[in-house]
Every structure is written in structure tokens, then in C-alpha cells.
Amino acid sequence: MTDFFQDQPLRIAGRSFTSRLLVGTGKYQDFDETAEAVAASGAEIVTFAVRRTNLGQEAGEPNLLDVVPPDRFTLLPNTAGCYTAKDAVRTCKLARELLDGHRLVKLEVLGDQSTLYPNVVETLTAAEELIADGFDVMVYTSDDPIVARELERLGCCAIMPLGSLIGSGHGIQNPHNIRLIIEQAGVPVLVDAGIGTASDAALAMELGCDGVLMNSAIAHARQPVLMASAMKKAVEAGREAFLAGRMPRRQTADPSSPFAGRING
Amino acid sequence: MQIQLNGEVRDLASDLTVAQLLEELGLAGRRIAVERNEEIVPRSEHAATRLADGDRLEIVHAIGGG
């Protein structure tokens, strides 16, 4: 943000954040690239997956949590790859154990392997169960405003509609629905999934989103670290543009230089 | 005794605790979480939890993901 203006922090589940860009840690070439991209993005909230340990692994093998240490980042374990509420709840409980009682999770329950579209019925079931168990649930969902409203009513601490399919890079396919979700929401709304390039992230913020979560758009860029830096700026630019308020659209031109005093007048 | 460990069948000495199994697997002290028959086994109970024939054990860690 510029030095003459101080934005409100992003508040999620009682914590405050300066950065409105949340990033994933998947699809990088190695942990060095992960660390550099996360640093360049300026993200404070970083999401990761929970998977079976490789039982043949070397004792000294590096661990993702050494790259994004819990004392420097707000870690956001996710339930990526879960297709039922039951598996998502189990995964969140494992994550809580893994991170010594950590309550903040990203819930996603998928419905289909080719689209990775959220199964909102299972998502609602899992959200209710997790919230009753004391979790703070940031929830990945469709861009359906009614489902978003129900997830908020259940107590989710952030609503995260897709811009387009996970990993597709198709940007925000239905900005009108994202607007509807933002206008009704009493908790932060973040676009999660579908961002392809910096202008998509800026658009999300210009629509009034509280933040953006992305992984592939950075990790699959030709130069991930440079794209991470671009995304940081795009989210900041979009946020400032939203707060500044865009000029009204006009049907006809409106000269910026005065009419009076022209030499041909 | 036989258990399912991360989806694979394993033959183990009977009377093994979760802590002893983690030691055998070279996972002692590492950032992992353990679930036994779909219930979390908290770190504080690894030493006191004895495995039983037919147990389904999951040992997980953090990996890159979005």
C-alpha cells in the first residue's frame, strides 16, 4: 500500500493480516523455488496438503514445514483430494494434530475428478461438523450465492468461491456472482481457484474481494518467482482501485484538457 | 500381528506401541500425525498406545498443495 493511505487489515478468525494474497505450495520444482515464490508473493497465509508419509523416506529428507515454518506463516492445511465430508473431517483432524492444535483450515470437498468442482452438499456437511468441533473453516465453494450464504450461516470464517476451475487459469468466469456473494457476506470473501494471471487477481480485488488464493498461476508460470511478485502487486493494485472507487462509465468521450483557450477557437 | 499401514498390509511384532513403530520406521521426532482406526492418536499418547491385530493406521505429513 502507498504511504499516504493505511488499509484496514484482513481479519480472519480473529487474526489480522496485511497481505491479501494467499498462496499454495504445490507444483513447484523444489522447496527452494517454493520458498522463493512464497517470499516474493508477500503472503502471510500459506496453504498445504496432508498426505500419507513416504515410509521409505530418508531421515534427513526436507519437510515442507521447514520451508514455511509455522512460527513465520499462518499455515492453512487444506482438504484437497477429499471427495466426502468424512474424509475432509478426518484430514482436518490430522492437520490439527500435525500442527499441535491449530484450528484454521481450508475445507474443500470435491465432486468430480475432471472438473474438481466442489461438492457443495458434502461441503456443507463437513463445515457443520468441523465448526462444531472447534475448527475455523475457510471454505472453498462454487460461486452460488445461496450456498455461500448457507456456509456463512453455519459459521464459516471465510467464503472462498472459485473464479473458474482449479488449475484452469480461466480467470473469473462469473464476476456478477462474485459481486452478489461479496454484497451479502458478513465474513471475508476470497476468490480461490482459477486465477491465471495478474489482471485476474486485480479484477477479483476490484470486485471487492477481501483477498485472493492461488497456486497454479504462480507455480506454473514460466518464471514462478517473478509471477509471485506480479501477483503481490496486482492484489495491492486491485485493492487500492476498489477502495478508490472507479470513475463512472460514459457513453461518449469527455476530454481531459479544457475546451476554452484552444488556439483554433 | 498384521495391520494396515498407510493402506498397505504390514506384519509386525505383537505388543508394539505407536511410538515403537515410529522409531522402527525412522519417523520418531518428525512432523507427522497418526490416526488409528479413524481416530487421532495424539503425540502425547504414542508411547502408551499399543497396536492390535487388524488396526488401520495412517501416518501423514505436510506436503505442497493448493
Residues from A in contact with B at Cβ < 8 Å: 23-28, 34, 47-53, 55, 57, 59, 63-65, 75, 77-78, 80, 90, 93-98, 100, 166, 213-216, 219
For B62, the closest chain A residue by CA position comes to A50
Say how many residues make up chain A. 265
Record: contact B42-A26, CB cut-off 8 A: no
Q: What is the pLDDT of residue A60?
A: 66
Nearest to A98 among B6, B32, B66 (CB): B32
Q: What is the pLDDT of residue A240?
A: 96
Record: contact B25-A24, CB cut-off 8 A: no
Work out the angle between the directed axes of helices A120-132 and A85-98 (0-180°, nearest 10).
Answer: 40
Record: contact B33-A216, CB cut-off 8 A: no
Residues of chain A scoring pLDDT < 50: none
Please state, in angstroms and rounded to a whole number, the distance separating the CA atoms of residues A201 and A199: 5
Please state, in angstroms and rounded to a whole number, the distance separating the CA atoms of residues A125 and A37: 35
For B58, the closest chain A residue by CA position comes to A52
H-helix or E-strand containing A238? helix A224-244
Residues 6+ positions from A15 with CB-CB distance below 8 Å: A74, A104
- Over range B6-35, report the average pLDDT: 94
Q: Is the dihedral of CA A42, A33, A200, A192 positive or negative?
A: negative
Q: Is the dihedral of CA A39, A45, A47, A52 positive or negative?
A: positive
Q: What digits encode the pLDDT tens for the residues B26-60?
A: 999 899 999 999 999 999 999 999 999 999 999 99
Q: What is the pLDDT of residue B15?
A: 87
Please state, in angstroms and rounded to a whole number, the distance separating the CA atoms of residues A104 and A139: 11
Q: How far, in Å, are A2, A26, A39, A140, B57 from residue A167 at the CA level?
A: 32, 11, 21, 14, 32
Q: What is the pLDDT of residue A62?
A: 81
CA torsion, ordered A235, A123, A88, A231, to nearest 10 deg: -10
Q: How far is B63 from chain A (nearest CA, A)?
A: 5
- Are the CB atoms for A188 and A11 separated by under 8 Å? yes
For B21, the closest chain A residue by CA position comes to A55
- Only one residue has cell 483432524, namely A93
Nearest to B63 among A23, A51, A59 (CB): A51
Q: What is the pLDDT of residue A58?
A: 55
